[in-house]
Structure 1
């Protein structure tokens, strides 16, 4: 890397984030407060929402979840999947970190730190199974990672999740606890419910995102699609997320206000998870001889999670008033500020990187 390269400053990082992304934790906290207030003034809200359902999920919530997922998946460059084999080290390391190490680490942390809270524990395990998608590209770009590699790994993870999420959900939520003698404390569920939720809330927006890119680029070109169309639909994901959070906290207000320490207990394993995954991935990339840009991409794609999918699956399988759904919502509240902080750490490491 040229020594003449201008190093981004902290101000550069903040200004390269959009206004909505920069204050995402603030919007989430405001949505939580709005939900608690709404639940207090509209006690019959759940009956209204349950008037029309798609499976076990009310129609308004289902639409919010689908809108939350679509813009994120419309950003993925699916045509780059065929380039993933060019750097086998990065590909193999990413797959192992995302689909072996990440879920196993979250499973261990959830059981160690939440042994007496099975619903929250299950929600955290679901977060660990929901691997990174398009939002991680933001953190990767800010930290001067390899954009091409990030696009490929995000596309790979997006497709891989449709196939593997249900399988890994069955393994970590049912099979493995039984092997370890922990089955008596697990929460009952059907693996098919998880698979169905993934098909609906990931499969449908994934197909829509893929078709949007194919049709948009063919008709108007990539510059228009990425420079005009994506910025227009991007905020829809945030609106869907905030709507879901408002509804969830409106329906869970009494539980949340009566047990405020539960949120802190959910946050602790998440903090440990993000720190360990990111630092471990950095160390592994360095040991494997990867460049700074590839190592940074490896670290952020391993540490980031698809919290939109985790929330959708938790609500689809366990319901909007479940502890699993609450644990999913705490995910982005912790992940966003932590990964922004890790961007600064990455840029500090970049100045000291030797290959």
Structure 2
């Protein structure tokens, strides 16, 4: 079915061509699902052989858990978008898996911000080690982030409680109660604040990191040493992932949310916002496949364990033991810092 009639907020009928979203996006999400499931399962297996002896490792472990949860929602979106599900499963997608998807997205964004702060600290103080109090603080902060996002997201599940009037309903907003629409809009604004706070953190920290790297470049050039340019590039993988995956979606999200909850756009504008939202949403999903590159390039113990595992498939545990003996199991500052 290529053309489906949707009912916007003003109650009028609006025709929309779903052919692209029924074929192209399910295929794209299928690719992400298999790649992301393999890479993140592997990352989790390796990380939980490594002791949490630095804030960096704690934040990375939380990120990989968040990414795996997001990836597990992909099959539901694939079947829903491809119209291979019954009405009750479409309701489940709107009520549960879509909420989990956004829940994990903002957890990942929050931890990318914390990882960036940690990288800045390692750049300015490369030999400073994490104290037990700092590690406890990182763990408590991680729990607070998960709890806050859960409490923010739970009402979206509870308030998606309306029976669909049309079996071909496409928009999850049609399944929300009146207050559910209000809460959905409030949550979107809160999530925008979360994004922009982390956006500013990342931009400011990387501006300072760049200045520090330039000073280091001048110093090394002055003593006749060759600057370690490839290491400098590695540290910028975080900001690259952030801008590729999250920035486009957040420029599109507010107008799309308004098109769902208020009568402010005509039919043509609603359709355009829908396709822009779906395209940029796929980019946010790509984050789950790009985060393992952060682990590989910025955490030497992860990299060593991964290489050892491929050399000997059953050697993850022994590789971790070797890393511990070499005191690499916490991603030591000398291995992580771009300096």
TM-score when scaled to structure 1?
Answer: 0.30
The structure, 1 or 2, with the larger RCO (C-alpha pairs under 8 Å, 6+ apart) is 1
Give the structure with the higher percent helix: 1
